[in-house]
Amino acid sequence: MNWTLIITSIATVAVVFTAWIYYGQLKAMTKARQLDSILVILSYFDDIELRRARYFVYEHAEDLRSLFDKPFSWENQRLIDEEVKRLSGDKVELHKIDLWINALNNICFLVREGYAPPEVVSGFMKNTLLHCYNAFAPYIEQRRARVDPIGEPSVYATHLEWVVENKCKKE
């Protein structure tokens, strides 16, 4: 009897069995991470202030898009904020819209980096992302173009833009 062959066979079976267990754990951890990400996404949708900003954008997308035709200045920013407040009856301000865009960008980061499944976009966010990007593309460009006090170029809403270009428009 060849003990070396038996020991090698047992070791091989043990390695394969260990790899199989590790694969199962890795698959479960990935699924748990995706479910955690979905809970984070749902918490964004549950926030009343962000929901109010989202509905405001749906109702006033064309009005908002035309507001950002002017080049960036703090005075123009103040005027835009006043117009947003006027259109919303003082329920929404530009800061809330900015937070909503940031929330969408965070969601898109989760999707782009694989933390959340791509079905999040195709299943229940596609129109939201398209509406937001359509309404705020000039604002996003304006935010990226303005001079940043720390000297770094702005990467404002890059994940949002990437998901709209690569996930929403392909479907």
- Side chain identity, residue 162: W
Note every long-range contact of 161-168, with CB atoms under 8 Å and residues 24 or more positions apart, other chains counting: 161/133, 162/108, 162/112, 163/108, 163/111, 163/112, 163/121, 163/129, 164/129, 164/130, 164/133, 167/111, 167/118, 167/121, 167/122, 167/126, 168/121, 168/126, 168/129, 168/130, 168/133
| Number of domains comprising the chain | 1
pLDDT of residue 148: 66
> pLDDT by residue for the chain (171 residues), tens digit each?
688 888 888 899 999 999 999 999 988 888 888 888 888 888 887 888 888 888 888 888 777 777 777 777 788 889 888 988 998 888 888 888 888 888 889 888 988 888 888 888 777 778 888 888 888 888 888 777 776 677 676 788 888 888 888 878 765
pLDDT of residue 118: 83
pLDDT of residue 4: 85
The dihedrals phi and psi of 62, each to the nearest 5 degrees, come to: -65, -40
pLDDT of residue 19: 92
Residue range(s) defining the domain that contains residue 110: 3-168
pTM beyond 0.85: no
